[in-house]
Structure 1
């Protein structure tokens, strides 16, 4: 009843506070068509960006007619959260939608950008990938399929059309057999990868796929020109996040977030351009996916609604340039993590809120890439030296990189005296953004869905009583700081009335390891009976990893008792199974039969998430087999 009253009050406030007038362009004026051509899993590895190894003539030609953006971020380093950012014009972190292939509701009054365009008379098509983490409110597209096309509109009707090319996707850079076109000997191997034939082959094949993608872009552009529409159409070409190679995709470094963005505005619509736009030009303006929806609306004469969190950088309602870009990482497939990043034009700052987790957590899908496999084998064999070792180790709390002098982001400047000013600047910017958008990522995924109970999680995030973010963020900062003198504050946090504060207090002990856990063992044992199942999971993992034998037994029993997705739900089960995985095969051997009997299918779970429990169970069983 209390939660329901809060949500009702918030819904009413949002409805009253978000009523804005959307001014469509005068129907008597010619409105531009807009064509978005997108590609998957590729950074700015294009000729027009100065990459001499790349072969991309069609995109290069488009760039010679328009402007390339040197500093464009996808906000998320993986497809579904990135596409969620695009379609909503909002940070998924405030929607409860940051996690890979989650599925949450939007507040009913928040529409997706094609819905605003359709109301203004545009014919909107998507060919064909959606992959959003939010459920739609009403019909999004006029057509969304492999047959969707701007040519199906009514005569004279302006269109907005998306064509998405998947040939450069991660899965396409590792499929074999493949006859290489690019010479692997000439491929640039980043400092964090080992220089092996497998790695060079993957990088060369990646560039082959980019060339194939470029040809498809050329077909889109040719079709538009042959229809006589090139002079009436604003064109965007962009990638959906960084390269599909490991440590780019899924990681909110610049390498995982920077995407190519080329925009062409025909002469008749140049009044919609910004001062930094010019033919055959470059813009160093900071732009990101959260800006695309308001920019699109602005280009078509529609005032972006107030709930959108991006800034239009073109069109009638364009705004001043921004000082920062923001990135995020949540759960990636079956593995939990929480990372936030921010950059200005030169430096990128990364905050790891779960530094006890190694960068390269085992992801079933990622480990299908030959580079990942050989990289891990060499690390386990002791054949690597820094910075090639970093990906398989735990993380520092903070990272700072100079993109001008360290494009691979391997020289952490956090402890550099001369960089303390920019470090503090970016830390402050990141902290302020979390508070401003009410970042919901600090709430465990299971708690988000429990509290929302079928409603929009955004509303939970905007309840100061249900989600006291300043207090939660204070505990998360302390927990992840790895400070050794935080014992008293963490113990107090374990007694807090808020579930999420207690969750981060328990996490603080887990992060600090054996000595801290053993000192707090009585309190962590009590937390095994916490009302929050998420708190129980973290306390159980801490005791299971670092406690005495009795604690280990209690931790294992707690985790296996919460690992049944049909009993405790998908998100609790994933958290519990991740905990069991970190305990190691010897400690988990006592419950291997129970693991084998866990339900790996659940028809009540959205189909996009149905494989994750099965992957975790399979991994636990593989480790048991290796331990024989």
Structure 2
């Protein structure tokens, strides 16, 4: 594996040219803030309950994307999409346990690209997915990556205190063959403990330290990737963040059924919630439990927000902000009871709509927003262009599916794509079908089909977000002319790969 990494680095270094058309210009730093399970229920996105002052002030510095979407609503593939600029359907990797180098051994990740152009790439927390049998990628970092816990508890009175729980085992690659025999951990925890008692507090502290250390190398630009884990389950956040919210004020979704006319296999119910206590193994969930989950999600989000604020404060204190590109990205959305669904793992709006904030000094204007559709894969080429580096499309061995969003950063009214694309796999009649989806400003079309089989074998879903933002009904049979138009667009994308190898 080391030989593969060295080969990729050498090939990439040979194809790269000067870092900028203006070699005397200072090379910008990059601060990439990745957040697990974060949907756009932030103050800056109009959520009146959310207490997210730090992400709100970050949005006020630059451009907010109102219609940004992940390429697959699950952690590991979405992070592959970010780091490679490649969609899951181009890689053929849709699961948590498969490493992206099984598909593209010589891939040059986003941070590798910058490393080979002279940047120092460091990562803390969760960037690529580690767990479920998967592992990090040593070639992507200038120094060893520093992970932290995704699942952890601090309550000594917990029934499972001192025991390895199911989700802890998954995310630490322990006893993966015995998950069902392990106890379920608590779904939430609200203790009077300091921020650093949980991972995000430690990640922020380490991020501050890395920024301070960067001042010792002023001649070397940094690419610092910080992966915050909340609001990922379990909702373990210090009590002061729970106290920010009145649980009675949360509005529960009124639509608690799958869309009328949708394929039965397209949705889900509890998902990973099943691995936590006291969540019942089957729906329905009581109103008390549903309100507790919403409360925990928002409390965890506010906890994460405070940690991001510490990093931004230090960036400002060190006077680094004027030459640092900042990106805040959520890896996918999260169902909070809409359609009776929870967590991610679907092709529906709430699982795929993500927050995306970009601050590019001298390029973005403060407090702007855009309805340009954007995908996770677009971040790679956008950062490359902002840094003045050669476009990656012909310089990397992996498929480059992203489009640079720099024209939109300069002018939010510009348009560089007319739809966003995402996908998710399911089983139908014992076969794997891939639900390839396109989202325009008004519609979403999902085509569920075995790759390579004729179009007439597909199950179709169509949703009109102008007339029916809650996705209450599948309109595919009612609007054949819209389906035909969107199928033409979808037909411009290659068939989904179903196994590693490109």
Q: Smaller-chain TM-score range?
A: 0.5 to 0.7
**3-state SS of 2:379 partner:** helix
**Structure 1: distance between partners of 2:255 and 2:315:** 41
Residues 1:458 and 2:501 are matched in the alignment:
yes
Select 1:353's aligned residue among 439, 449, 460: 449
Corresponding residue to 2:384 among 293, 297, 308: 297
Can you list the C-alpha shifts for 1:202-241, whole angstroms capped at 9, x where unaligned?
A: 1122111111111111111011111111111111112111
How far did 1:351 drift? 2.2
Residue 428 (str. 1) matches residue 488 (str. 2): yes
- 1:452-510 CA distances to partner (integer Å, 9 max, x unpaired)? xxxxx333xxxxxxxxxxxxxxxxxxxxxxxxxxxxxxxxxxxxxxxxxxxxxxxxxxx
* C-alpha deviation, 1:352, in angstroms: 2.7
* Structure 1 residues 76 and 158: CA distance shift in structure 2, 3 A: same
CA distance in structure 1 between the partners assigned to 2:35 and 2:140 by the alignment: 21
The aligned runs of 1:120-519 (5 Å cut-off) are 120-132=117-129, 139-143=139-143, 144-146=145-147, 147=206, 149-153=210-214, 154-172=217-235, 181-193=244-256, 196-243=287-334, 245=336, 246-266=341-361, 269-270=362-363, 273=364, 278-306=365-393, 307-314=399-406, 321-330=416-425, 338-353=434-449, 397-416=459-478, 419-435=479-495, 439-441=496-498, 448=499, 457-459=500-502
Matched, 1:44 2:43: no
1:125 and 1:162 in contact (8 A); partners too? yes
Q: Cα–Cα, structure 1 residues 352 and 60, in superposed 2: closer, same or farther, change >3 Å? A: same
Matches of 1:179 and 1:256 in 2, distance apart? 24
Q: Give the 3 Å change call, closer, same or farther, for CA 433–173 of structure 1 in structure 2.
A: farther
Root-mean-square deviation over aligned CA pairs = 3.4
Q: Distance in 2 between matches of 1:88 and 1:397?
A: 30
| Matched-pair contact (CA < 8 Å) for 2:126–2:229 | no
Match of 1:207, SS state, is helix
Moved over 6 A (4+): 133-138, 173-176, 315-319
Residues 426-435 or 297-306, more deviating: 426-435
SS of residue matched to 2:485: helix
Matching residue of 2:102: 105
Distance 1:63 1:343 in 2: 24
**Residue deviations 1:77-120, cap 9 Å, x none?**
11100000011111122222122321342445531111110111
Shift of 1:38: 1.9
Q: Deviations over 1:114-162 (max 9, x none)?
A: 1110111111111122435998887211132155734444233111111
Between 1 and 2, higher relative CO (CA 8 Å, sep ≥ 6) is seen in 2
The answer to whether the 8 A contact 2:103-2:501 is kept is yes
> Relative to total residues, which structure has the larger helix share, 1 or 2?
1
TM-score by length of 2: 0.67
Query: Where is the strand percentage greater, Structure 1 or Structure 2?
Result: 2
Tell me: CA distance 1:348–1:180, structure 2 relative to 1, closer, same or farther (3 Å).
Answer: farther
Deviation at 1:353, TM superposition (A): 3.3
Consecutive unaligned residues in structure 1, runs of 5 or more: 1-14, 355-395, 442-447, 449-456, 460-628
Query: Does the residue aligned with 1:164 lie in a helix, a strand or coil?
Result: strand
Q: Gaps spanning 5+ residues in structure 2: where?
A: 1-9, 148-205, 257-283, 394-398, 451-457
Query: Does the 8 A contact of 2:125 with 2:229 survive in 1?
Result: no
Question: Normalized against structure 1, the TM-score is what?
Answer: 0.54
Q: Structure 2: how far apart are the matches of 1:160 and 1:72?
A: 23
Which one has the largest radius of gyration? Answer: 1
Kept in 1: contact 2:51–2:244 (CA 8 A): no
Number of paired residues?
374
Q: Does the 8 A contact of 2:384 with 2:392 survive in 1?
A: no
